[in-house]
Structure 1
Amino acid sequence: MPETAPNPATQLSPQAVQDRVDTVRERIAQACERVGRDTDEITIVAVSKTFPMQAITSGVAAGLTHFGENRARALRDRVEERPGQWKGGDVCWHMIGHLQTNKAKFVARHADRFEALDSPRLAEELDKRAAKNDRVIPCFVQVNISGADQKYGLPPEDLHGFLNACEAYEHLKIDGLMGMASFVDDSETVRSEFAHLRTLAETYTGGAANVSLEHLSMGMSNDFEVAIEEGSTMVRIGSAIFGPRS
């Protein structure tokens, strides 16, 4: 029999989302307990990309406040419908996808946080756009910890030099790193990649006021428990909260 397409009205109902959020929180608690961490250290970023606004409404009802989008114009449309914290709203909008420099204006105008800073050219353009909007944008630098050619992010060996260069950007606040592990069943490969990102943060010795690596954004629906065990402070979770995408 052919698979039945997901029914958003059922899949994204407040109760369905609440049940999944409760399960995710329990899994987070178990991962924290294994390594002696506090669950308060972990922020869930619900990846709402491609889902209707009903997902946001149900997510907020379940106690979520952070949501992630991966396309600049889609983020703009979301914020226009439900303003983020920078605009006085009740949610925090994360831009989590690769950003072309010509789309930096959307992030500067609408995002509460940008998680995919990965080039000097983009940093320069985003800083310029943020200045025009009279704001400082919190950013994570994305690092290609898997080494895959198709993945975005700085090569790990370029990270510290890039962070030093970011000290010059007065309208960017670099307060963490983001990385995506290989999509494989080998948990030890995944663990080593997350551990590498943590080590890159721990070994950075810069002292600029606008560069302080307080956060590690790593871990998605398939690997967030390992990420938490390796030091993640933000996990980006989509399908485990909202169900499969149609």
Structure 2
Amino acid sequence: MPINLPHILRQVEEACKASPCNQKFCRLVAVSKEKPIQSIIKAYNFGQRHFGENKIIHLYDKSYAPELINSCPDIKWHFIGRIQSNKIRKLAGVNNLYMVETVDSMDHADILNSTWGLNHQIPLNIMIQVNTSGEPRNSALLHNSIFREEWHQTH
């Protein structure tokens, strides 16, 4: 972990302030895969709050690690990997899950929505992966189906 994390966080903050975009959505997500818990705690103590994992089992286990729960009470976990249907329920059970960054099908969105809603009062932040090229081998929602999918979620 770089010693200059506080400097990097200040640079991100300054870039957010200079941006015309909503600053609420500008943040650094530290990818913590394969990093020991002590490194996550150290980064947290430097001011980093958002951490990403690309494997659901590692994310789940870290989110319930007593050392992290005690040392990092307001940690915000991001899932940054590809979702597998058989692991969505486990993903919905992650402690302090803040965002799922790669929802690529409505089936996954539906399962995640129904399992998340059972135990949580606030909505889960998600990013939808959109296939803008139209290539069938890309796993994502086709850009021309977004409005139909939005209707699907609201009705």
> Is TM > 0.5 for Structure 1 vs Structure 2?
yes
Q: Quick one: which amino acid aligns to residue 26 of structure 1?
A: Q
Q: How far 1:51 moved relative to its partner?
A: 1.8
Matched, 1:72 2:49: no
Alignment of 1:131-150 (within 5 A): 131-135=117-121, 136-145=123-132
Alpha-carbon contact 2:51-2:76 (below 8 Å) kept: yes
Q: 2:154 aligns with which of 154, 167, 182?
A: 167
Which position in structure 1 is the counterpart of 2:31? 47
Q: How far 1:41 moved relative to its partner?
A: 5.1
What stretches of structure 2 of length at least 5 have no aligned partner? none
Q: How far 1:126 moved relative to its partner?
A: 1.3
Q: Quick one: which amino acid aligns to residue 69 of structure 1?
A: E
Cα distance in 2 for residues equivalent to 1:38 and 1:162: 25
Which position in structure 2 is the counterpart of 1:26? 11
TM-score (norm 1): 0.51
Q: How far 1:119 moved relative to its partner?
A: 0.8
Cα distance in 2 for residues equivalent to 1:24 and 1:147: 37
Q: Provide the alpha-carbon RMSD of the alignment.
A: 3.1
Identity of aligned residues (%): 26
Q: How far 1:120 moved relative to its partner?
A: 1.5
Q: Size of the alignment, in residue pairs?
A: 149
Which position in structure 2 is the counterpart of 1:102? 86
Greater Cα radius of gyration, structure 1 or 2? 1
TM-score (norm 2): 0.76
Partner of 1:44: helix, strand, or coil? coil
The one-character-per-residue Cα deviations of 1:115-170 (angstroms, maximum 9, x if unpaired) are 222211112211222233354433221224577777543232222222221224xx
What stretches of structure 1 of length at least 5 have no aligned partner? 1-11, 169-246
Q: Quick one: which amino acid aligns to residue 119 of structure 1?
A: S
Cα distance in 1 for residues equivalent to 2:22 and 2:114: 38
Q: Which has the higher contact order (CA 8 A, sep 6+)?
A: 1
Which position in structure 1 is the counterpart of 2:44? 60
The one-character-per-residue Cα deviations of 1:14-58 (angstroms, maximum 9, x if unpaired) are xx34x045136426635763x555766522211112222233112
